[in-house]
Amino acid sequence: MTTANKLAATARERAGKGAARATRRDGRVPGVIYGDKATPTLISLDPRDVMREASKAGFFTRLYDIEVGGKTHRVLPRDIQFHPVSDKPEHIDFQRVGASTRVRVEVPVKLENAEKSPGIKRGGVVNLVRHEIELWASPGSIPSRIVIDMSGLDIGDSVHINSIKLPDGVKPTIARNFTVVALRAPSVQKAEEEKPAEAAAAAAPAAGGDAKAAAPAAAGAKPGDAKAGDAKAAAPAAAAKPAAKK
């Protein structure tokens, strides 16, 4: 059974943007409690309380008891709005829940015992497919997190939703047996792609050196040089012919 946390609040008399701005000017956070076929209740809260609770993991899966005007409302946080510059809370919504209420909540996934995974020890890469899992649950059965034990997982192994034990009455909103986490082999594609690039980079200076060496030779050559050279080379050969006859 999920334990409810207490949260202090005071009643607000008026609704609307003007009234909400007036509440914020007074240093309070405007909010509303709705649902369970009851009239919405306007409230205001201390911003320090809101920030303290909102900064905790699993805030939207945590039950709260809010007492307003002598009446206690059991609620779930459903939405919170922050100022785009100061990040201060500007409004918060709570859903009133009863014993028969079923709600849709997103529960965070936490991995444990990764150091005991033989696949991770061999360089495997963890692919967390679902950071959160959306569940149907009664308020008293909402888990604060879904824990997956990584010990024993090897490369190529994966964990699916059907293999995870959930509290009684809690079901995923997706019917199929989807993957939550998988352990993949380390990728070698990047290393293979880098090899041709490194070879090309190494070949570029060599090719450049040959071109530079050829350029001065070509630049220093004059028309007729080749013919003059051929004539000089041919002269010794012609002089050697008579000697060959003797």
Per-residue pLDDT reduced to its tens digit, 183-215: 999 876 445 555 565 666 666 555 555 545 444
- Hunting for tokens 């206690």 — which residue is that? 72
pTM for the whole structure? 0.65
Neighbouring CB atoms inside 10 A of 33's CB total: 24
Q: Do 92 and 44 contact (CB within 8 A), yes or no?
A: no
Segment 225-232 shows an average pLDDT of 47
Report angle CA 52, 57, 58 to the nearest 5 degrees: 110
The pLDDT, as a whole number, for residue 153 is 95
Predicted confidence band at 246 (pLDDT cuts at 50, 70, 90)? very low
- Picking from 75, 84, 90, the residue whose alpha carbon sits closest to that of residue 22 is 90
| 29 CB-near residues (< 8 Å, 6+ apart) | 23, 44, 45, 46, 47, 50, 89, 90, 91, 92
The pLDDT, as a whole number, for residue 188 is 63
Q: Which tops the pLDDT comparison, 239 or 53? A: 53
The pLDDT mean for the chain works out to 82
How far apart, in whole angstroms, are the C-alpha atoms of residue 131 and residue 71?
A: 37
For residues 197 and 204, give the distance between their C-alpha atoms in angstroms, rounded to a whole number.
11
Distance, in Å, from the CA atom of 5 to the CA atom of 47, rounded to the nearest integer, reads: 17
Domains and CATH numbers, the chain: 5-100 (2.40.240.10), 104-184 (2.170.120.20)
